[in-house]
Amino acid sequence: MQHDGNPPFEGPNRDVLVPLRKEFETFLTDICHSTNSNCIGEEFHEDYIRNSAATRSIAKSVAVSLNISHLFCEFSIAERRERNLMKASNPDDFAVREQHWLEVLEGADFNSAIFLCGPDHVQSFQRLLKANAYKATIIEGYYKGELFPKTS
């Protein structure tokens, strides 16, 4: 859902994903407007766009169209290899990755941000944000989750 490339897992085929991605783009735009957010951060890195034969990040496209900031907050593939964090669904790696996302956010200039992450991170990342004195509200725990398998 985060990009316009091939999904790395079982789920809806490309014909189904095209309208879902457009719907997600509208959903994200509406959320940015309703929350007055001036930044979109995401559990994603440009390396993963290239690896999935994608041409764009949906979140970055929305940010550009709204003239707000966008942050790729995930480690690069090389950084994940260096840190031995290559299994996306390994809960032991979550804390390291989520701390990195927080550090990226802390280095950015924004008043209110929307952060996109996988469903396995929603609760734990919210706790980390709150533990660091950020207001964190879950708007959608698993967008269209009925169509996609969870990673754990």
Burial 69-78 (b: 16+ CB within 10 A, else e): ebbbbbbeee
What's the mean pLDDT in 125-139? 95
Supply the pLDDT for residue 99. Answer: 97
Supply the pLDDT for residue 86. Answer: 82
| Amino acid code (one letter) for 140 | E
Supply the pLDDT for residue 18. Answer: 80
HEC string of 120-133 equals CCHHHHHHHHHHCC
* CA dist 59 → 44, 55, 90, 118 (Å): 10, 12, 24, 14
- Across 10-19, 105-114, 143-152, least confident range: 143-152
Could you give the CA distance from residue 105 to residue 32 in angstroms, rounded to a whole number? 17
Supply the pLDDT for residue 35. Answer: 96
**How high does pLDDT run on average in the chain?**
87
pLDDT for residue 11 is more than 60? no
Could you give the CA distance from residue 56 to residue 75 in angstroms, rounded to a whole number? 18
Tell me the pLDDT tens digit for each residue of 40-94: 999 999 998 888 777 889 999 999 999 999 999 999 999 999 999 987 678 889 9
- The whole-model pTM stands at 0.86
What's the mean pLDDT in 33-44? 96
Could you give the CA distance from residue 111 to residue 78 in angstroms, rounded to a whole number? 31
Supply the pLDDT for residue 6. Answer: 62
